[in-house]
Amino acid sequence: MNERPLVLASTSPYRRQLLERLRVPFECEAPEVDETAYGAAAPAELASTLARAKAAAVAERFPRAVVIGGDQVVALGEAVLGKAGSAEAAVEQLGRLAGRTHELITAVVVVAEGVEWSHVDRTRMRMRTLSEAEIRRYVDRERPWDCAGSYKIESLGISLFEAIEGGDPTAIVGLPLMAVARALRQFGFDVP
C-alpha cells in the first residue's frame, strides 16, 4: 500500500465521482490554472497541456503527494469547444455539433516527486440531427454549460447521440479510469 497521499487536481464533481469508484482515499484541490492562457494549441495538445499544468500546480503545493490532473476538450475538426458558460452558448455549441461527428479528447497526467505519467483518450462521438426545440429543451432540463461541448453523456445527454466509439467509457465523463488505475498501480497503489 502506498503511503503517499493521493490528490485529484480538480474541483469537478464528475471527476471526483469517477475517482471514488477506485476506492482509493484521495483529496481534491483546486489547481488554480488559468485555462484561457492556453487557447491556441491543437485539441489533443491543449488537453494534455492543461492536464499537466493542473497536476503541476497542485504538486507544487503538495510535494509528497501523487497528483492526478485531467482535462477534456471537444474537437470539431481543429476547433476546440470548451465549457459554454451560459445557456445561449450551450445552444450554439449543440447546434454546431448536431448531425456531426466530433472527437472528445480526455487527457490525464499523474505526477509524483518528479516522475510524470500521461495518457490521452480519444472518443468519436456521433450526435444525431437535432431541432432547435430539442436543443433548447435539453439545455433547459440539463443545464450543461459547465461541460465541454455542452452535454452530459452520463445523464440525459446520452439521448443526443447516435453512436459512440472509444476504449474507455469513463473518459467521456472526464477521467479515463482504466488508464488512471494503471497509473496508480505503477505509483504503488493497490487498485484493486
Whether 190 sits among the annotated catalytic residues: the reply is: no
Q: Could you check whether the bond before residue 144 is cis, i.e. omega within 30 degrees of 0?
A: no
* Rounded Cα distance, 174 and 192, in Å: 21
Q: How many CA atoms lie within 13 A of 55 on its CB side?
A: 26
Query: Residue with C-alpha cell 465521482?
Result: 17
What residues contact residue 60 under an 8 Å CB cut-off, 6+ apart?
none
List the catalytic residue out of 71, 121, 140, 168. Answer: 71
Cell numbers at 138, concatenated: 435539453
**Known catalytic residues?**
71
